[in-house]
Amino acid sequence: MRDNIYVGLVHYPVYNRNNDVVATSVTNFDIHDISRTCRTYDIKKYFIITPVDAQKELTGRIIGYWTEGNGIEFNKNRNEAFENTELEDSVQSAIETIEKIERKKPKIITTSAKIFPNTVGYADLGKEIIEDDTPYLILFGTGWGLTNEIMDLSYKILEPIRGNTRYNHLCVRSAVSIILDRLLGEN
């Protein structure tokens, strides 16, 4: 397994249903469940990206409970899941953190429910990730998706996850699990 793949859950800048740029709330489920998924697929760091001080304080308390507080003894598996979960103020600060660790700029992969000219399939990107020693940062949006500004940073954009129905609005926790499995799973 590669050891230089990163995941970012972007809470700002994202769109709301009216196409306004907003900051969304960090949810307890996303902190826990995506941390566990990232640990399962050996993601080097899971960045929760928000500039909102109150959100950072709350998220930091939750992570601290499992990494420094009573949660360590209560559930060692949860402690292990949170070892690589970190807060970042922005996508740019996450990129800079990766550059400091890897001494290379990461390739940015974004996700969307839409098709773009640089959309790529899972098999092709999964093969590339395994064969390439460049770090990768896979960004997931909250709200109604990543802004055009963030999408423009993309090296590649993953094809949408589609069920066999017209409905297409997975929770981000599910999308992260499906995408990481398609890219890095056993098959």
Burial 51-81 (b: 16+ CB within 10 A, else e): ebeebbebbeebbebbbeeebeeeeeebbeb
CA distances from 51 to 6, 89, 90, 97, 177 (A): 19, 4, 6, 16, 25
pLDDT tens digit string along 105-134?
Answer: 999 999 988 888 899 999 999 999 999 999
* Residues of the chain under the 50 pLDDT cut: none
What pLDDT does 121 receive? 95
What pLDDT does 1 receive? 58
Q: Give the phi and the psi of residue 111 in degrees, each rounded to 5.
A: -125, 150
What pLDDT does 58 receive? 95
Q: What is the CA radius of gyration of the chain?
A: 16
CA distances from 36 to 162, 171, 173 (A): 23, 16, 10
Q: Are 15 and 147 in contact (CB under 8 A)?
A: yes
Q: Are 41 and 184 in contact (CB under 8 A)?
A: yes
What pLDDT does 114 receive? 86
Q: What share of the chain is helix, strand, coil (3-state, %, to 5)?
A: 40, 20, 40
Name the 3-class secondary structure at 158: strand
